[in-house]
A = this chain, B = another copy of it.
Amino acid sequence: MTAVPPLYLIADRQACAGRPLLDVVRAATAAGVRWVQYREKALTRRARYDEALRLRALTREAGAALIINDELDLAAAVEADGLHLGQEDLPLPVARRWLGAGRVIGVSTHTIDEARRAIDEGADYIAVGPIFATTTKAVRPPIGCDAIRRVLALTGVPLVAIGGITPGNVGEVIRAGAAGAAVISALCGAADVSAAVAAFHRSIAQARATVDERA
């Protein structure tokens, strides 16, 4: 699998401010985003398949990885680079049996126990959040950067922070030890997607520099 990059775009049509999802993904990958997750819950399976095929071609062309949210069969059908599972999706071992070791499988976790189980089951990365307040999923309260440190105490599995992450606060999650940040609103909803990607990368580079100084 490709290593978890510092910036992970979660492409959600409903967060794209009415712009075509593919335009947002094209702009983000052209600006250097290396992982794109396709998250679509409203369309029919056939429409998701058709759109995922277009994203597969676009990401391959851009040299970016495509991760499919929730749906094992869709991930395999479009030859995605990986699958992201929620706590209410098919079990990770079932997905691993189908996708093999060569493809990325990540898992959303919201508690230490969920993180431990995902790690025990062989997740390639775990998503931890919501770190900050978010407009995308208002179902859970923010857990803050201390949650990143607590989960990192468990494991060497790359941790992806998610939830309300912006160029202004991404440094905090990187300094807390996250391998990367998964971002929906601050990229999909950005007036200038390329500029937003550049702002994230600047903040991430600055945070990493301070981490290196401490090391």
Point out residues on A near B: beta carbons under 8 Å: 44-47, 49, 70-74, 76-77, 87-91, 94, 98
Contact = CB atoms under 8 A, between A and B. Distances in A.
B70 A73 contact: no
A98 B70 contact: no
Contacts of A98: 73, 76-77
Nearest to A45: B89
Contact of A72 (B46, B73, B91, B94): B73
Contact of A94 (B47, B71, B77, B88): B77
Contact of A74 (B49, B74, B77, B90): B90
A76 B46 CA distance: 18
A98 B47 CA distance: 19
Nearest to A47: B88
Contact of A90 (B46, B70, B94): B46
A49 B74 CA distance: 16
Nearest to A71: B73
Given A47-B88, A49-B91, 20 more contacts: A44-B88, A44-B89, A45-B70, A45-B89, A45-B90, A46-B87, A46-B88, A46-B90, A49-B94, A71-B73, A72-B73, A72-B77, A73-B76, A73-B90, A73-B94, A73-B98, A74-B90, A76-B98, A77-B94, A77-B98
